[in-house]
Amino acid sequence: YVLPESKLGRALKYSLDYESTFKTVLEDGRLVLSNNLAERAIKSLVMGRKNWLFSQSLGGAESSAIIMTLIETAKLHQVDSEKYIVFLLEHLPNEETLEKKEVLEAYLPWAKQIQEHCR
């Protein structure tokens, strides 16, 4: 017998309450049991967040966050992050305007041009 208010009792109640949700992992082979991949993907952002506390200015911290986001998004899309940043620095200044959505979309890591030049 397990006391309902004990830690084990609460754990069992939780697992029974969400049994159908937990079984979803067994029904769909694409799902994984842990969130380790997601946590690993954002680790550098989390580490950066701690470092941004010591930025000289809010603008510097925001710039660091933008750069880290670009780098991690490039990695996620199998783009060489160093080549990607160099490509952005070489090509973005030559654009007439960056206010058009289509112009910026062409420089996102999943864009065909980026995929061709930065792998």
Does residue 112 share a domain with residue 56? yes
DSSP codes of every residue in 23-60? HHHHH-TT--S--HHHHHHHHHHHHHHHHHTT-SSHHH
Has residue 41 been placed in a domain? no
Q: Which residue has the higher pLDDT, 6 or 51?
A: 6
Q: What's the confidence (pLDDT) of residue 95? A: 92
Has residue 80 been placed in a domain? yes
Q: What's the confidence (pLDDT) of residue 43? A: 80
* pLDDT tens per residue across span 65-93: 788 889 989 998 999 999 999 999 999 99
Does residue 54 share a domain with residue 107? yes
Does residue 111 share a domain with residue 61? yes
pTM score: 0.59
CA 69 from centroid of its chain's CA atoms: 8
Does residue 56 share a domain with residue 85? yes
Has residue 10 been placed in a domain? yes
* pLDDT tens per residue across span 27-52: 988 888 888 887 887 787 777 777 76
Has residue 95 been placed in a domain? yes
Residue range(s) defining the domain that contains residue 19: 1-33
